[in-house]
A and B are shown apart, each in its own frame.
Chain A
Amino acid sequence: MKLYAPKEKVVASARKVWCEAFAQVAETDSRVVALTADLSRSTITEIFREKFPDRYFNVGVAEQNMVGMAAGLALSGKIPFCNTFAPFAAMRAGEQFRTDACYMHLNVRLVAGYAGISQPAGPTHSGLEDAGIIRGMPGSAVVSPSDLSMVKKIFEASLEYQGPMYLRFGLGKNEPYLYAEDYDFVIGKAIETRPGTDATIITHGMILQDALIAAEKLEEMGISTAVLDMHTLKPLDTEAVISAARRTGRVLTMERHSILNGLGSAVAETLMEAGVPCRFKRLGIPDLYPSYGDPARLADKYGFGIPAAVDTIAGWVRES
């Protein structure tokens, strides 16, 4: 797969790319409806609301009603996209998503920004445990774009997908294009972004960029590291996980999410049940409320940044 260098095509105002992608996809399908809870200017709906005012509902700061309304819209044949930040999406409106959207298996899309430590606003506005909460809801799908080219592909795929989806986004600033050629995007099917034989890094979301940088550094040290882009946390591509672990014998997961109940947990569950012996470590936000600051620095502070990935895999290789 042809890739851009990880820092080659970083877009400062990435949220604009989200908004354009969403408006383009909405143009093709009149079933698309957008709801927001007074966060239109911070999520994906900014262009949509200008172009499709009749299909746009700003409910005010009322996330429960937003997701309940979305269920009603979906029961009437619409594909509603609800926009808010991850902690409010998964927790304030969590029961509505579970009992209204998931229990009835409706085509509600919960678009959750500010996932992980991707912003400086602190734990109140960060999705630390959101994906884990949603993952436990039967029938839910959890998908995150790994680069900006994937945003539109996710929106497109979401028009065909049957059932509730949680779309996990970051802050929308300084996000990269990583895929330099077109590729097939299928919900639930991981992408081997980079081949390798000594270890595999499995990622969920825009942290793919960090994994690719870590893999390059490891390459310079003579360690061949595969990178598996697990854009869909649920349903997890268990076949890809098992195959990567068997092939490389060393698996590191990276996510901008609590190390509890997210990608690392899902991969560990898969490998234990499949009986695949391998070295394994989860990198993610530790079980605490992180302090304020620059996301990259906080990742280093809490030990899930690029240096931690390089050190972990290099250490494994040295030991063997």
Chain B
Amino acid sequence: MADSATVDRLLDRVYEYRKDLLKLCHRVGGLHIGGDLSCAEVMITLFQYALHVRPEDPNWEDRDRFVLSKGHCSAALYLSMAQRGYFDKQELFDTYKNGYETRFGNHPCKAALPCLDSSSGSLGHGLPIAVGMAAAARIDGKSHRVYCVMGDGEISEGSVWEAALAAAGFRLGNVVAVVDRNRMGLDGFTEEIMPLDPVEDKWRSFGWRVVTVDGHDLKQLVDAIDALPPAEDPTPTVIVANTVKGKGVSFMENNPIYHHIAIDEEQLRQALAEVDAAYRRQKGGRTA
């Protein structure tokens, strides 16, 4: 069970993440802000709790691997990694998407930023790569895990299900996939674009262990991580994280316009005020 000190620590990190994200969105003239906000708690739980990594030695061979398959949410990845100590947040703010020499592109590029475990951007690519990393760990007798965060819209890609078959077929319980189930793609709601429900049944029928959580509930996320089987287990795990696109900012939540957009000064002010108020409520609720 997640202890309250851990959840409290993660809550602070999520608060910082949301504020940074909104400031960055305003500063650089647009982010995939809706999806960056929906995966906030997932990313913080992974980078601040789950991942066994050494930011000072990013190629440590026993590290857990992380693949952000929904690569358009690069800001989510960069901010999570900056918090974990991989690089200075200021450099990110100064150079994100800025000029040809930046290490922080719109989609994560390993050639530019070698501490990444993989480049990403084209949807449906992350899980096959993660399965390959997990297969390599099996060959080498290693017991680290490979985490892969996907968007829900992207699981329409056939390659996701090819990899889902393979992870189960090759008995790769060292694979942990997270589906950021914010129920929206670029064009609107997933169930109106191409229905995905029942998502859990699909994964289960492919031979995966399925855990459903409220993807904004840190306690549930921490519990899901704690309950993972050992990496040697034959069954891969998918965490279906039910989330809200644009979570935490009322005018962004469930609004397709906020898939990728810039925000002006006034919007930033309002968004930060809402994030602030929510944080105070949560902290108050915890201490009461």
Select the stretch in A58-66, A180-188, A211-219, A283-291 that faces chain B. Answer: A58-66
**Chain B 126-159 interface mask (CB, 8 Å, partner A; 1/0):** 0111111111110110000010000000000011
Contact A69 B111 (CB under 8 A): no
The contact of B129 among A55, A95, A100, A105, by CB within 8 Å, is A100
Q: Which of B119, B127, B129 has the most CB of A within 10 A?
A: B129
- Hey, which chain B residues are within 8 Å of A55, CB to CB? 139
**Chain A 54-80 interface mask (CB, 8 Å, partner B; 1/0):** 110101101011011111111111101
Contact A104 B118 (CB under 8 A): yes
- Hey, which chain A residues are within 8 Å of B166, CB to CB? 57, 59-60, 62, 65, 69
Q: How far is the CA of A103 from the CA of B169 in the complex (A)?
A: 28
Instruction: Give chain B interface residues in 78-115, CB to chain A under 8 Å.
Output: 109-111
Taking A76-B132, A95-B122, A96-B125 as contacts, is the C-beta distance between A105 and B111 under 8 angstroms? yes
Contact A96 B159 (CB under 8 A): yes
Shortest CB distance A94–B (Å): 12
- Hey, which chain B residues are within 8 Å of A68, CB to CB? 125, 127-129, 131-132, 159, 163
- In this complex, the interface size class of chain B, counting residues with CB under 8 Å from chain A, is 20 to 34
Task: Name B170's closest neighbour in chain A (CB-CB).
Answer: A57
The answer to whether A33 has its CB under 8 Å from any CB of chain B is: yes
Task: Name A63's closest neighbour in chain B (CB-CB).
Answer: B162
**Chain B 223-258 interface mask (CB, 8 Å, partner A; 1/0):** 000000000000000000000000000000000000
- Hey, which chain B residues are within 8 Å of A78, CB to CB? 136, 139
Contact A75 B118 (CB under 8 A): yes
Contact A60 B139 (CB under 8 A): no
The answer to whether B165 has its CB under 8 Å from any CB of chain A is: yes
The answer to whether A99 has its CB under 8 Å from any CB of chain B is: yes
B-side binding surface: helix, strand, loop or mixed? Answer: helix
Contact B132 A71 (CB under 8 A): yes
Q: How far is the CA of A165 from the CA of B209 in the complex (A)?
A: 36
Q: How far is the CA of A180 from the CA of B55 in the complex (A)?
A: 55
Contact B137 A71 (CB under 8 A): no
- Hey, which chain A residues are within 8 Å of B162, CB to CB? 59-60, 62, 64-65
Shortest CB distance A139–B (Å): 10
Instruction: Give chain A interface residues in 6-59, CB to chain B under 8 Å.
Output: 33, 54-55, 57, 59
Contact B129 A76 (CB under 8 A): no
Task: Name B140's closest neighbour in chain A (CB-CB).
Answer: A76
- Hey, which chain A residues are within 8 Å of B127, CB to CB? 68
The contact of B132 among A73, A95, A99, by CB within 8 Å, is A73
- Hey, which chain B residues are within 8 Å of A95, CB to CB? 122, 125
Q: What 3 A-B pairs come out closest when comparing CB atoms?
A: A72-B132, A68-B128, A76-B136
User: What are 5 A-B pairs at a CB distance below 8 A?
Assistant: A72-B129, A72-B135, A73-B135, A96-B125, A100-B119
> Which B residues have a C-beta under 8 Å from some C-beta of A?
109-111, 117-119, 121-122, 124-125, 127-137, 139-140, 146, 158-159, 162-163, 165-166, 169-170
Q: A54-B139, A60-B166 are in contact. List 5 more A-B contacts (CB 8 A).
A: A57-B166, A75-B117, A78-B136, A99-B122, A104-B111
